């Protein structure tokens, strides 16, 4: 693992434990991608959720993506749709542009 990701993980974790939503979302991203930590979608979900429930649009989008792509969570398109809509309502561009054909997922 590149040292930069390990250091990022350590700093994000410290800030995330203090409730920083930017750090929580980014820590979720490290777990989702396996950067500086072993890939663990359940951990990614937990960190994304902490930030998403505090209103972070990027974390809401990321959490919706986990549910849409069934990474570390049970298949739940209602949850995916909800999180995408919450993110889109805040102007998160990727979520606002998403047009999922739910039949094909």
pLDDT in tens, 58-101: 999 999 999 988 888 888 889 999 999 999 999 888 888 876 55
What lies within 8 Å, CB to CB, of 20 at 6+ separation is none
Look at the pTM and tell me if it is higher than 0.85.
Answer: yes
pLDDT in tens, 5-25: 999 999 999 999 999 999 999
Evaluate whether residue 75 is within a structural domain.
yes
**Residue-range definition of the domain harbouring residue 31:** 3-97
Write down the pLDDT at residue 94.
87
Q: How many domains is the chain partitioned into structurally? A: 1
Are 31 and 40 in contact by the 8 Å Cβ rule? The answer is: yes
Write down the pLDDT at residue 60.
97
Evaluate whether residue 35 is within a structural domain.
yes
Are 77 and 68 in contact by the 8 Å Cβ rule? The answer is: yes
Where residue 103 falls among pLDDT bands split at 50, 70, 90? very low
């Amino acid at each position: 693992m590149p040292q930069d990701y390990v250091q990022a993980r350590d700093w994000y974790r410290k800030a995330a434990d203090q409730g920083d939503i930017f750090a929580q979302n980014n820590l979720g991203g490290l777990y989702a991608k396996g950067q500086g930590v072993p890939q663990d979608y359940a951990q990614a979900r937990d960190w994304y959720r902490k930030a998403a429930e505090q209103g972070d649009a990027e974390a809401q989008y990321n959490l919706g993506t986990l549910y849409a792509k069934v990474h570390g969570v049970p298949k739940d398109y209602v949850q995916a749709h909800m999180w995408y809509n919450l993110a889109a309502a805040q102007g998160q561009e990727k979520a606002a542009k998403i047009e999922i054909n739910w039949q094909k997922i």
